[in-house]
C-alpha cells in the first residue's frame, strides 16, 4: 500500500508537470536548489528578486513582456509546487522505506530493488533541471529531446514501481495461466511496448507544440497523408523535429494502439481468465478508448488545458493498465 501511494504521487507529478508545461510555467524558476529550495519567496523583497531574475531570461521578452508581479507569482507557484511535490515524493519514499528496513521487514533483494527506485527518482530531479536549462537560452523553450527523456524516465519509474508493487501484491501467477496460450503473454508485453512508444512520441508533440497545428481529424490539412512529411535531412530528424511528421507519427501510433488493444481484448474474451485478470483486460480496453477520444478532442479543440492535462493523465492510466494486464498474464517461474 505504501508503494501504491507513492505511485499515486508520481502519477500526480506527471499530470502536474504537463500542466506546468502547458501554462509555460516551467521556466519561471531559473535556479535549482535541490536541498535548500523548500520555501518560496516569503516577502515582497524576495518576490521582486525572483521576478528580476526571471526578467533576465529570454522567455520574459518572448512570451510575457509587461508581466506584472502578480502574473509572475501565478506561474512561479505552479512550478514551485511541481518541484516541491517531487521533494515530497522523495520524502514519502525514503522515510517509510528506512523504517521498514530498520524493522527488518525488507529482504536484501527487495531492499536493493527499492534502492534502485530511489536512485531513479533522484536522477529524475537532475534530468528535470537539465531540461529546464535548455530553455534558459536564446530560444525560450525546452528541448523536445530533454522533455521526452524526462517523460520517459517518469514512465520508467512508474513502470518499475508498479511491477514491483504488483509482484508484492500477487507473487505468483494465476494457476490457469499454465493452460493459456503463450501468445497472450507475448501480446500483452508487445502492447505495453507500443503504448510506451506512443506516449514518448506524445512527448515530442508537446515539445514542438505540434498539437496547435493540423487541428482536424482524421485528415491533416485535408489529406490522410499530408504534404511536407519527411522534409528534413537526414531522414531521422523528421521523427523528432518536423512538426507535421511528429504529429502524423503520433496519430498513426495512437490509432495502432486502439486497433491492437481492440484485437487483444476480443482475443482474450474466449480465454479462461481469473476475474481480476479479465478486469484488467477490460480496464485496458476502456482506457485505450478514452485515451484516443481525449487525444482527438484535445487536437480539434486546439489544446484546451483541461483536456490536454486529461489526455496526459489518461496516457499514464493506459500505460499502467497495460502493465497490469502483462503482470496478470506472466508465466510461472517453474
The pLDDT tens digits for 238-275 are 999 999 999 999 999 999 999 999 999 999 988 888 88
Burial letters for 92-128: b for 16+ Cβ neighbours within 10 Å, e otherwise? Answer: bbeeebeeeeeeeebeeeeeebbeebeeebeebbebb
pLDDT at 181: 52
Predicted local confidence at residue 174, as pLDDT: 66
Question: Which pLDDT does position 271 carry in this prediction?
Answer: 85
Rg (CA), the chain: 22
The predicted pLDDT at position 237 comes to 95
pLDDT of residue 178: 44
CA torsion sign, 41 to 47 to 53 to 54?
A: positive
Query: Residue 8, Cβ neighbours under 10 Å: how many?
Result: 12
What is the rounded distance in angstroms from the CA atom of residue 22 to the CA atom of residue 206?
8
Grid coordinates of 87: 521533494
With vertex at residue 329, the alpha carbon angle to CA 266 and CA 267, rounded to the nearest 5 degrees, is 10
Contact between 242 and 230 (Cβ < 8 Å): yes
Q: How far is CA 222 from CA 228, 234, 295, in A?
A: 13, 27, 19
Q: Report, as ranges of residue numbers, the positions in the chain whose pLDDT lies below 50.
A: 178-179
Amino acid at each position: 500500500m505504501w508503494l501504491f501511494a507513492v505511485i499515486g504521487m508520481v502519477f500526480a507529478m506527471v499530470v502536474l508537470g504537463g500542466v506546468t508545461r502547458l501554462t509555460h510555467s516551467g521556466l519561471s524558476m531559473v535556479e535549482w536548489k535541490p536541498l535548500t529550495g523548500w520555501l518560496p519567496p516569503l516577502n515582497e523583497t524576495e518576490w521582486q528578486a525572483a521576478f528580476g531574475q526571471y526578467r533576465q531570461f529570454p522567455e520574459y521578452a518572448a512570451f510575457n513582456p509587461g508581466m506584472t508581479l502578480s502574473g509572475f507569482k501565478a506561474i512561479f507557484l505552479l512550478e514551485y509546487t511541481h518541484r516541491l511535490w517531487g521533494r515530497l515524493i522523495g520524502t514519502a519514499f525514503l522515510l517509510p522505506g528506512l523504517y521498514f528496513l530498520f524493522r527488518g521487514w525488507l529482504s536484501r533483494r527487495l531492499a536493493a530493488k527499492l534502492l534502485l527506485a530511489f536512485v531513479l527518482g533522484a536522477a529524475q530531479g537532475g534530468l528535470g533541471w537539465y531540461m529546464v536549462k535548455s530553455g534558459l537560452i536564446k530560444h525560450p523553450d525546452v528541448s523536445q529531446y530533454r522533455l521526452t527523456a524526462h517523460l520517459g524516465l517518469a514512465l520508467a519509474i512508474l513502470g518499475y514501481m508498479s511491477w514491483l508493487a504488483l509482484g508484492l501484491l500477487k507473487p505468483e501467477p494465476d494457476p490457469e495461466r499454465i493452460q493459456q496460450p503463450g501468445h497472450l503473454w507475448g501480446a500483452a508485453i508487445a502492447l505495453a511496448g507500443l503504448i510506451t512508444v506512443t506516449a514518448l512520441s506524445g512527448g515530442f508533440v508537446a515539445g514542438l507544440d505540434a498539437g496547435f497545428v493540423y487541428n482536424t481529424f482524421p485528415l491533416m490539412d485535408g489529406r490522410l497523408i499530408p504534404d511536407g512529411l519527411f522534409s528534413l535531412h537526414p531522414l531521422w530528424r523528421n521523427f523528432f523535429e518536423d512538426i507535421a511528421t511528429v504529429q502524423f507519427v503520433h496519430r498513426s501510433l495512437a490509432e495502432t494502439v486502439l486497433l491492437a488493444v481492440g484485437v487483444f481484448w476480443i482475443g482474450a474474451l474466449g480465454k479462461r481468465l481469473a476475474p481480476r485478470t479479465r478486469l484488467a483486460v477490460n480496464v485496458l480496453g476502456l482506457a485505450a478508448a478514452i485515451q484516443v477520444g481525449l487525444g482527438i478532442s484535445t487536437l480539434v479543440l486546439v489544446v484546451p488545458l483541461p483536456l490536454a492535462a486529461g489526455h496526459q493523465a489518461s496516457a499514464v492510466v493506459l500505460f499502467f493498465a497495460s502493465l497490469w494486464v502483462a503482470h496478470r498474464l506472466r508465466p510461472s517461474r517453474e
